[in-house]
Structure 1
Amino acid sequence: MCAFAKPSNRPLPAKLLPRGHEMNARVSRRHFLRTGAVGAALVLGFRLYAARPASAETSTAGLAQFTPNAFIRIDSEGGIVLVVDKCEVGQGVYTSLPMLLAEELDADLDQVAIVPSPPNEQLYADPILHLQATGNSTSVRSSWTELRRAGAAARQMLIAAAAAEWRVDPSQCRTERATVIHDGTRRQLGYGALAAAATQQPVPQDPQLKQAEQFKQIGKSPLRVDLPGKVDGAAQYGFDVRLPGMLFATIASSPTFGGKLNSLDDNPARSIKGVRNVVRIGGQGFDVGGYKLHLDDAVAVVAENTWAAQQGLAALEPAWDRGPNAHLGMDDVVRALEAASDRGGLVARHNGDVDKALSTAATRLEARNYMPFLAHAAMEPLSCVADAREDSCEIWTATQVQARAQGIAAQVAGLPPEKVTLHNLISGGAFGRRLELDGIALAVAISKQSGAPVKLVFTREQDIRHDLYRPFYHDRLRAGLDASGKLVAWHHRIVGPSIFARWAPQALRSDGLDPDAVDGAIQMPYAFPNLLVEYVREEPPAIPTAFWRGVGSTHNAWVIESFVDEIAAVAKQDPVQFRRDLLGHAPRALAVLNLAAEKSRWDKALPPRSGRGIALAYAFDTYLATVVEVTLSGAGLVTLQRVVCAVDCGSIVHPDSAIAQIEGGTLFGLSAALWNEVTVRNGRVEQGNFNDYRTIRIDETPEVEVHLVSSREAPGGLGETGTVAAAPALANAIFSATGYRVRQLPIIKSIEELKRRA
């Protein structure tokens, strides 16, 4: 289990831990379960998310067989356990989710212990993703109401139990720090003492939730549960696992996409001291509930320590058949996308008559934009410890998809899923990379052939050159203005691959439209009278694509906000005012736009070769406006001076974490916009480490101001939102400073033009 399963100093009794969540109970209309006595414990099971509509059969007897997907358990010592389905990948869910429960339960955060959920797609499917997954910035959005409702129900039952014990009216009792208090007689009973009696109380069907003005914890920023262990080294990442008798593996995959291993002399590797095995793997495909994964041919060296494994791998000279993609290059990718852009696409959104509005427009504009393949390059590269035995398999890793991880391990090991045990640990960055299962599949295959527990760790080069990449997109845009400079027509054609077709084909629209590809393009806050958004699917040959910190929205925000800025310039209007005029129907969007302009001192003059750019976005149910201020040197180098973000994410659980998410996402997006791209030459990825796939460095990091809007709306997502507006705000700032319009990322590709203009 995760090192953060015990946030309090009191040891967590083993009897508190759920036993596979095996409980039969009857659910109420509000999805709470009737409680039952388990020893001296109050066990409250609840649906974390709204149930699917019940059939006539399940509405009577079927619900008695319902197994809930989360538990509160309170033992006779007052220990409180919350089982959560989300993975801690640095976003702070092991703090924010128990805060929701503790708020309504009237317990302190340090009284709630967290236990990560086991793999179970039926119990823990996220209602937005419809999978047991951590992603799409859904963690707090999914849990906001039901976790609070569960805490409120348990608290009401505990009060009722105390009132019955004291023979007083429950309205005369209150709660504080996991204790029921009767002020009239000064009597107190802790939740532990009341746990058994509380099981006899009826489950409230509609427990009253606190109003925002009553919150004692939500909206505060207590020390994050995961920080002490990260500071003192006690936290265990997937990378840290060590088992008795464990061997270590390094791997080399086909250098070209789809290449084959022709021959291999493994004697040089086996002669290295400490090398125990040389394993040939890959060349096969898997399907886990619609998720598809293909592993290229690879070879692994298994040894007693990492150094021996690395030396053994270096001694190998595998002969590769470069395969059908031996001559694949970026020109091939771009040509295919450009040709596809001439085709009509699937209609994602259509208002009015765009062609007619364009034909009568006083001014017409067109643009083509290109966004490159991107790697994830998380600080902690992929790793997995697998112990594949004849009758069972055990894996230790950090994954965003627990049930799928179990499923692919089972397929590789040749076992039923229930024979696979997953230990899901915290990760040092994910960004969508840990939604993929290649590292787990490889580790299990190596362990199975080696007959021992094996730890597979990707080198940085393996991690980047054999990633699954954020797609390369090509966009074509047209817009029309009337004689007064008002925008009257907008046409956006998106061309690129479909991630969902491989990752979750059930999420595709019936006609094949990928909702992620058009994410952000069809939810714009602007009011365009004539609007057409199309999607043309075009798959790059052999290059696997995957989710990356806010894929569709980061791509579309850059394209849209850059083009809106360009239209404003042609209309000779201030970029902020031009956007204001399009937002009369979107007060929350207008508010963040105005706040960002105010805090960035938008109207203040800047020195020569300096500029400010703004971008507005609605993503993951959050409104964000970002202003980037830059200065260009005579050598065309871009210096980031200052970034200002205004955010309306609805109700905020942990403000410090909210700010950190926007700061980190913004810097992540600026790094990508300035320098990052994955290029392919002769069928292989050219980049391999941070020297040629670089990230922003300390001395390049600007001041990032984050201003949170006070709101009582339901929470929006934050993990990916900061990334969304970074690139367009930066590109618009460069235009402000130089008059040069960025149409292709990364910006480093434009260094000669920037040098000329600076």
Structure 2
Amino acid sequence: MGRRQTYPTKELSRRSFLVLSAVAGGGLVLGLPNLNASADETSAQTPFEAYLRIAPDSSVTVLSAHVEMGQGIFSGIAALVAEELDADITQMHAVGASGNTRLYNNITMGGTMQETQGSSAMSSSFERYRRAGATARAMLVTAAARTWNVAEEEITVDAGVIAHPSGKSASFGELVEAAVRQPVPSDVKLKDPKDWRYIGSEKLRRLDAKAKSSGRQDYTIDIKLPDMLTAVVAHPPLFGAAVKSFDAAAAKRVKGVVDVVEISHGVAVLGQNMWAAIKGREALVVEWNNDKAEKRGSARLLQEYRDLAARPADALAVSRGDADLAMADAATTLEATYEFPFLAHAPMEPLNAIAHRLGDRLDLWGGFQMPDHYQKIAAKTADLPQDAVKLHVTMAGGAFGRRGTPDAQIVVEAIECAKAIGWRVPVKVQWTREDDITAGRYRPMCVHVLKAGLTQEGKVSAWKHRIVGQSILAGTQYEQYVQGGVDPSLTEGAADTPYGIPHFAVEVSNAKVGVPTLWWRAVGHSHNAYVMETMIDELAAAAGSDPIEFRIGLLAERPRHIQVLNLVAEKANWGKTLSAGRFRGVAVHETYGSVVAQVAEIVVDGDGGFRVDRVVCAIDCGLAVAPDQIRAQMEGGIGFGLGATLHSKITLSDGAVDQTNFDTYEVLRLSGMPKVEVHIVPLTSPSTGAGEASVPPIGPAVANALAAATGRRSRVLPLQPLS
């Protein structure tokens, strides 16, 4: 059961909000406090949070089950509510919700926890929040009808105004007090899509655009509580190391440093401001115990991965037909080894969290991707019952998976710091960019070994694929999803390939490495798509086939893939002769239910360099609730994926991370961003997602363009120089 909050009668009267709660199976009931009940009786009826609040000034606040981290979900969910509520979009606001798994569980991901991941926020929210808006609208209409003594069917609602032909009208705020006293309709009728005003509209824009573009949007990094201290943590320079001893004398002499405390992840310096804490950490002397630390460097790890690939696999992820027998009969075989480095998430806002305990209540602030899971860990760390922990889920300045760590490290650090000083003031733990790059969690390093066969007729007959890498899920609360030694986050995008290859096998060899890993934008799809799509392209070349036609021939049972390929080919003028020095490549991939095809056009210069000049992208994500946001996500994902394709890598020397900031961990600069054209397949089928789907295809599309230019296949990322 989730936490339940008591709403005293006077407080409810002043705030005037509607409270909607989910029941088992994803349905909705309206849980309204009895205004004449005692506090205890009210608590027994009312969930502690809600989906929708209407204030006396008619502003509508939507409590989002999903955290806003740049993908636009606050605006999308607010549009769902506004559509069925018949509100004006300018009335709408959204904030992060938390604390009640039953209310805010991710329906698409199984409904067991609140989480923002897998590009599932819109599919989880689509019906739930529309019903919230429709239910609130019905109660407002009933309130108006009874107040004015007219029939409900005579009342209209438009742009936040409730009206009757007699001339009577009222705003939401004027009727909300009466609305909360009305019976809750057992069922509400949702709008016919032909009547939608906001859903699918090209005019729909983000609600937070003005605040963000003007610098007025607050993130956790901006929050300042009275008397708050800021802490930075000295983390071990090697993963797995621990504090042996430390000398805080010099650190404490730094002006503004208040305290130095040991916590489970290192030694924290608490200051009156960030600068004092940083300077105090620089003066801190720590001796580390490296007995259990990871001391291998990247070169050694890579060789060990290659050696693992040459031995029998640990597990079989998928097998159909007989890949070995078919390979032996193949007219042509191709073999390749692919190498991928560790990658950092590098969101613009590094990790942070604030902990503040007052009496028996603990308040936490942060852009949390898994709020209820963090709440449980916070309660255990603070020695409090779970319902005594209140999370304030703030907007996050980027995440890409980084703000969903199974051990809730940033929350634990904030709580341990506040606890170490007796809870006397709030404490914000703020990581620096260097902390994020050198002490973070990474996309696993991987090696893929692949062999594929073609028949005499140029058809793909066999595919045998070995993936060597770390499990992200092993040792976490998600370990039950590791079945038979196979972590699905390592094999997704390969084991479930849409290509109709009759004899197909994917194996896994699990590497044991002390470097902490985490899901990175598109997770396993981000490297598996590269392998699948570059090898398919290489097979097409060996068969003497057009790359798009070759793919379509393998996708007979996947009409969505064929449709996006045809669309991207049309918009990119595939087949048209390019000017000298220009080359293009194609890739298509399905990520968490959305299918994206991309054509990358590169320009090769006379010095052996190249640049990505143009990318044409087609996406099938089901119903496009907010087309403008989808295009923005496609563009952003292409830039994110290009950075990893062309520049980014995390390397280790004797176990220590070599990169420290954006000067050495290079991401895509604005000057390297190509022209991007996005085309959305017009559909009315259920929404899937757009936050991650454009990342996997961009790397192979660029690599395939390079192969067209040079005849050389690129199997190591980031891409190596041409000369």
TM-score (norm 1): 0.85
Matched, 1:599 2:578: no
What letter corresponds to residue 309 of structure 1 in structure 2? A
Q: 1:367-516 to 2 correspondence within 5 Å?
A: 367-388=336-357, 391-436=360-405, 437-451=408-422, 452-505=425-478, 507-516=480-489
Does the residue aligned with 1:395 lie in a helix, a strand or coil? strand
Following superposition, the deviation at residue 680 of structure 1 comes to: 1.1
Q: What pairs with 1:306-317 in structure 2 (closer than 5 Å)?
A: 306-317=274-285
In structure 1, what is the Cα distance between the partners aligned to 2:56 and 2:252? Answer: 58
Check conservation: 1:389, 1:448, Cα contact below 8 A: no
Aligned to 2:51: 71
Kindly indicate whether residue 518 of structure 2 is the aligned counterpart of residue 546 of structure 1.
Answer: yes
Secondary structure in 2 aligned to 1:432? Answer: coil
Partner of 2:29: 33
Q: How does 1:553-592 map to 2 (within 5 A)?
A: 553-592=525-564
State the AA in 1 paired with 2:308: A
Between the aligned partners of 2:684 and 2:648, the Cα distance in structure 1 is 38
1:116 maps to 96
Whole-Å separation in 1 of the counterparts to 2:303 and 2:489: 23
1:518 aligns with 2:485: no
Q: Which amino acid aligns with 2:229?
A: L
Counterpart amino acid of residue 415 in structure 2: V
Q: Distance in 2 between matches of 1:314 and 1:72?
A: 47
Which of residues 160, 178, 200 is equivalent to 1:219?
200
The letter for the 1-side match of 2:244 is: N
Call closer, same or farther: CA 1:277–1:635 in 2, change over 3 Å: farther
Kept in 2: contact 1:16–1:81 (CA 8 A): no
Alpha-carbon distance, 1:86 to partner: 0.9
Alignment of 1:668-687 (within 5 A): 668-687=640-659
Q: Pairwise mapping of residues 202-241 of structure 1 onto structure 2 (< 5 A)?
A: 203-205=185-187, 207-220=188-201, 221-241=203-223
8 Å Cα contact 2:17/2:54 also seen in 1:
no
- TM-superposed deviation, 1:592: 1.1
Cα gap change, 1:573 to 1:137, in 2 (>3 Å): same
Contact 2:141 2:162 in 1 (8 A): yes
Q: Which residue of 1 is the match for residue 40 of structure 2? A: none
1:362 aligns with 2:342: no
Shift in CA distance, 545/506, structure 1 to aligned 2, threshold 3 Å = closer
Deviation at 1:447, TM superposition (A): 2.2
Which residue of 2 is the match for residue 263 of structure 1?
245
For residue 490 of structure 2, what is the amino acid of its counterpart?
Answer: A
**Paired residues, number:** 696
Does residue 137 (structure 1) correspond to residue 110 (structure 2)? The answer is no
Give the gaps of 5 or more residues in structure 1: 1-11, 41-63, 283-294
Q: Which amino acid aligns with 2:350?
A: P
Aligned to 2:298: 330
Deviation at 1:212, TM superposition (A): 2.4
Percent identical across equivalent pairs? 38
| Distance (Å, rounded) in 1 between the aligned partners of 2:536 and 2:402 | 31
Q: Deviations over 1:225-281 (max 9, x none)?
A: 212222333321111111222222222211112223333232222222222222222
Deviation at 1:733, TM superposition (A): 1.2
Look up the SS of the partner of 1:491 in the other structure: strand
Maintained 8 Å contact 1:399/1:424: yes
Question: Which letter maps to 1:486?
Answer: K
Supply the AA of the counterpart residue of 1:552: G
Structure 1 stretch displaced more, 369-378 or 189-198 = 189-198
2:312 corresponds to 1:343: yes
Offset of residue 190 of structure 1: 4.5
Alpha-carbon RMSD: 2.8
Give 1:165 deviation, angstroms. 6.3
Q: Which amino acid aligns with 2:393?
A: N
- The aligned counterpart of 1:3 is none
Task: Give the match for residue 15 of structure 1.
Answer: 15
1:87-98 correspondence runs (5 A): 87-98=67-78
Cα pair distance change 1:77/1:676, threshold 3 Å? closer
Distance in 1, Cα, partners of 2:331 & 2:652: 42
Contact 1:27-1:66 within 8 A present in 2 as well = no
Query: Which string of whole-angstrom CA distances, capped at 9 and with x for unpartnered residues, describes residues 583-641 of structure 1?
Result: 23222211211121222222233345532111101112111101111123344433111
SS class of match (1:721):
coil
Q: Which residue pairs with 1:127 in the alignment?
A: 107
Q: Distance in 2 between matches of 1:304 and 1:197?
A: 48
Instruction: State the Cα deviation string for residues 77-131 of structure 1 (Å, max 9, x = none).
Output: 6554432211111111111001111112222222334342132334322123332
More divergent stretch after superposition (144-153 vs 162-171): 162-171
Say whether the 8 Å CA contact 1:91–1:719 is kept in structure 2.
Answer: yes
Output one character per residue of 1:650-702: Cα deviation in whole Å (capped at 9) or x when no partner.
11111111111110011000001111111111111111111110111122211
Matched residues in 2 for 1:69 and 1:356: separation? 59
Distance in structure 1 (CA, Å) of the matches to 2:247 and 2:180: 68
Residues 374-401 of structure 1: per-residue CA shift (max 9 Å, x gap) = 0111111112222356744332222212
**Would you say the 8 A contact 2:453–2:460 is kept in 1?**
yes
Cα deviation, residue 460, structure 1: 1.3
Deviation, structure 1 residue 316? 2.6
Moved more, 360-369 or 681-690: 360-369
CA deviations on 1:139-183 (whole Å, 9 max, x unpaired) are: 101111222233334434544555566676655544322344445
Offset at 1:32? 2.9
Per the TM alignment, residue 482 of structure 1 is displaced from its structure 2 partner at its CA by 1.1
Contact 2:33 2:46 in 1 (8 A): no
